[in-house]
């Protein structure tokens, strides 16, 4: 986002997760924060997994009612669950963030961002970049956790962002005034003058097809969100926005960059198709 500065303090090496096997083959101690983070995704993947595997459409539709707290839709318009790298997978130090999790009521919309960082990274370096963003948000900015709910790299890999469970309505800190009832997806890179990779746009579509499908939202639709106050809309104003919007739609900023913003229409269409609409 505009004005964001990244402190590249990460050494670039992949840290061994706390609780990884030690030299004698025994597991080290896990912190309470780490256990709590694992537990939020326990219905989706084994405890302590580094990734949540992709599911077929049939598997996703069978799983969805439980994730919706037993409230199935008349027709389950939902995309296949994509593969998601967990916080353990990208090496999050859970001791940095505040304990506990904050949730909103439901995810009615998604705001797409860019991280305003370089585009010439290798996808193997994405975990290191995410750790740097995490440290910047928490240590330098004083936030409770990384602000984005999900991150995407140029190879189309999807990463869990703010802790609390990828299938749950975790409240992020990504679009001032519109963090309630939304999620934030950040694509690594800057897209004012550089086109986003097709794989990244596809990942946005696949992620939103699944996550918005859990709450019954149509990716091509519009929804009303109440502003909490920002530099574009006064506090309390009901604003009609695209279900998949860019950061600039809710806040006066260049984010997610002109060229990524221009791809959101394609992402909406693809996400709706993945949902079976």
C-beta of residue 165 within 8 angstroms of C-beta of residue 40: yes
Say if residue 71's pLDDT is above 80: no
C-beta of residue 170 within 8 angstroms of C-beta of residue 162: yes
Say if residue 104's pLDDT is above 50: yes
Confidence of residue 17 (pLDDT cuts 50, 70, 90): very low
| pLDDT score at 134 | 99
Q: Model-level pTM?
A: 0.88
Strand segments, DSSP code E, in the chain are 51-52, 84-85, 109-114, 150-152, 158-160, 182-187, 222-226, 238-242, 244-246
Q: What are phi and psi of 225, to 5 degrees?
A: -125, 140
| pLDDT score at 26 | 32
Give the chain's radius of gyration (CA, Å): 18
| pLDDT score at 191 | 99
Higher-confidence residue of 5 and 130: namely 130
* Span of 31-40, 68-77, 175-184, 220-229 with lowest mean pLDDT: 68-77
| pLDDT score at 73 | 53
- Kindly report, residue by residue over 236-277, the tens digit of the pLDDT: 999 999 999 999 999 999 999 999 999 999 999 999 999 999
Please list, in sequence order, all residues whose beta carbon lies within 8 angstroms of the beta carbon of residue 246, skipping any fewer than 6 positions away.
111, 112, 113, 255, 256, 260, 261, 264
C-beta of residue 239 within 8 angstroms of C-beta of residue 227: yes
What is the residue whose two structure tokens read 């695209």?
242
Return d(Cα 3, Cα 142) in angstroms, integer. Answer: 16
Say if residue 11's pLDDT is above 50: no
Higher-confidence residue of 162 and 23: namely 162
**What structural domains and CATH numbers belong to the chain?**
50-275 (3.40.80.10)
């Amino acid at each position: 986002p505009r004005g964001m500065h990244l402190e590249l303090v990460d050494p670039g090496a992949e840290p061994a997760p706390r609780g990884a096997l030690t030299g004698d083959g025994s597991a080290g101690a896990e912190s309470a924060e780490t256990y709590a983070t694992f537990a939020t995704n326990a219905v989706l993947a084994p405890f302590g997994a580094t990734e949540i595997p992709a599911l077929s459409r049939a598997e996703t539709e069978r799983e969805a009612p439980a994730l919706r707290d037993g409230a199935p839709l008349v027709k389950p318009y939902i995309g296949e669950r994509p593969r998601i790298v967990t916080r353990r997978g990208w090496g999050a130090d859970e001791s940095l963030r505040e304990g506990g999790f904050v949730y909103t009521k439901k995810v009615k919309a998604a705001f797409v961002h860019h991280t305003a960082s370089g585009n010439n990274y290798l996808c193997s370096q994405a975990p290191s970049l995410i750790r740097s963003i995490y440290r910047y948000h928490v240590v330098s900015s004083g936030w409770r956790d990384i602000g984005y709910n999900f991150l995407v790299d140029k190879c189309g890999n999807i990463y869990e962002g703010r802790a609390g469970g990828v299938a749950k309505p975790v409240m992020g800190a990504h679009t001032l005034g519109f963090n309630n009832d939304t999620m934030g997806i950040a694509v690594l890179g800057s897209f004012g003058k550089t086109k986003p990779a097709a794989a990244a746009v596809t990942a946005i579509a696949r992620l939103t097809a699944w996550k918005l499908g859990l709450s019954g939202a149509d990716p091509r639709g519009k929804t009303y969100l109440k502003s909490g106050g920002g530099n574009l809309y006064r506090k309390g104003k009901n604003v009609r926005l695209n279900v998949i919007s860019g950061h600039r739609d809710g806040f006066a900023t260049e984010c997610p960059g002109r060229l990524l913003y221009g791809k959101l229409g394609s992402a909406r269409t693809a996400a709706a198709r993945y949902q079976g609409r």
